[in-house]
Amino acid sequence: MRMHPLHIDIPKPERFTYPFYYEPHPLCQLAAKEVQGYIDSHADIKEDADRGKMFGVLIVTPSTPLSPSAPCYFLAAYSGLLAGRNDWDYFVPPVFDAQQPDGHFKQEEHAISAMTDEEQKEARKQRSQELQLWLFHQYQLLNAQGETKDLVDIWQDYHKEKVRRKFPLPPGGTGDCCAPKLLQYAYQQGLKPICMAEFWWGASPRQEIRHHLQYYPACRGKCKPILTWMLQGLEVDPDPETLGFPHLAIETVYEDEALLVVNKPSGLLSTPGRIEQYSVERVMQQRYPESHVAHRLDMWTSGLLIVAKNLTVYHSLQQQFLKHQVRKRYIAVLEASPKQGRLEGSGTISLPLRPDPVNRPCQVVDYEHGKCAVTDYEFLSEDIVALYPQTGRTHQLRIHCAHPEGLGRPIKGDELYGTKSDRLYLHAEQIWFHHPVSGEPMHFVLPFQYGNTTLFNNK
């Protein structure tokens, strides 16, 4: 049985979940617990899931009520294959089943594998590409309006020409994530989607950071083009990025004729974004038209930020950053970790990073293709650590804290690599540099207020 009853009368949401940024609805949380119980009670499924697997739930209502005691139902799905299979009765089927031994895909795949001679290399490559194209055409995806479009057309229609030239086809595995499977089955069965959520089960991959039983949004690289199509016809929660963010005030810590040092609050961009324009740089340019932010802090990181009042000063500061002549110290509050022993002392983390192309803006650890990223750390207490970045990679401090090969404890409030909270508890507390005009050594300190405690250690 693939449609599972929920015997509880919780008010349904007014609109469908925005799949790339959401808080799981209580109905989804209840459904997820039932799926987790099912996984736990089936040894063959659990053994595979324990290695690391994304699961999803979709709350649905049938066009005709089936039972007064079950006002709604849920569907369950997993990404890719589960224990080498995609035909589990408890879970919805794949959008297209390429695993049939007698099917075209498996037969052709076997024939390509048999082409082992060196002179067949180019022919094997060409045949593989043709098979991949054939496979993507088999993914005939529905939307809420009853329309159908295959995966190749969805990808081409979604992306601009520049992206299409570089990536004419979707990445391998596109269409096999939880969300497309769930929506496809619901549409095929005449069910109305209500809300959806996805959670991770098991060990974290080495590259990505995933936590057991934590909820995650749908991946943007593979799923955003598909879901943009499949959700047409549903009333969906708005994308929070399109709603704008509060225009927070910016406190000046220091100012002279050449530059400013400001306190960037958490929740404010350093420079204009793709959608949101309000930022430290735009505010400063209203006062000083030639000003530029000399470096960046993540939107949810607070603390000290240098602003150059003109291009000459900006370029001078940039040279200091390029030559690693600027030192910074951050304070981070880490999530509690009951499963891990006490962390203390100091040390250095070196984990190379690169962007995750299928799940931007996330970064991943990649020892082969990643760029060098090095952070010194010093524990100030069991949960509070001072971080001294030697390099400036995107999300460097967040990943170095969260990754099992780093500190293994996410920064509190890190919704990308840990658990969401009221804010990201990462603060740029101190900065050292030389004045770009006078050459004078400059050192600024901005203590971090954590609850009723001011975190400060002037080293």
Residues annotated as part of the active site: 298
Distance CA 421, CA 398 (A): 15
- C-alpha–C-alpha distance, residues 371 and 352, integer Å: 5
Nearest to 387 by CA among 425, 442, 336, 353: 425
- Give the chain's count of helices (H) and strands (E): 11, 21
Q: Which residues contact 165 (CB under 8 A, 6 or more apart)?
A: none
Within the chain, what is the greatest distance between any pair of CA atoms?
A: 79
Element (H, E) at 349: strand 346-350
Instruction: To the nearest 10°, report the CA torsion of 182, 186, 191, 196.
Output: 20
CA distance 177 to 169: 17
Residue pair 22/231 in contact (Cβ under 8 Å)? The answer is no
List residues bridging with 262 in a β-sheet: 252, 305
- The answer for 267, left when phi > 0, alpha when psi is -120 to 50, beta otherwise, is left
Pairing mode, if any, of strands 302-308 and 426-434? parallel
Q: State the Cα–Cα distance between residues 293 and 273, nearest whole angstrom.
A: 14
How many CA atoms does the CB half-sphere of 452 hold within 13 Å? 0
Alpha carbons 352 and 318: distance in angstroms, whole number: 23
Q: Can you read off the two tokens belonging to residue 263?
A: 């306190």
Find out whether 379 and 346 touch, Cβ atoms under 8 Å: yes
Angle CA 51–57–60, to nearest 5: 165
| Residues 6 or more apart whose Cβ sits within 8 Å of residue 117 | none
- How are beta strands 72-78 and 4-6 bridged, if at all? antiparallel
361 preceded by cis ω (within 30°)?
A: yes
SS3 content of the chain, % helix, strand, coil (to 5): 25, 25, 50
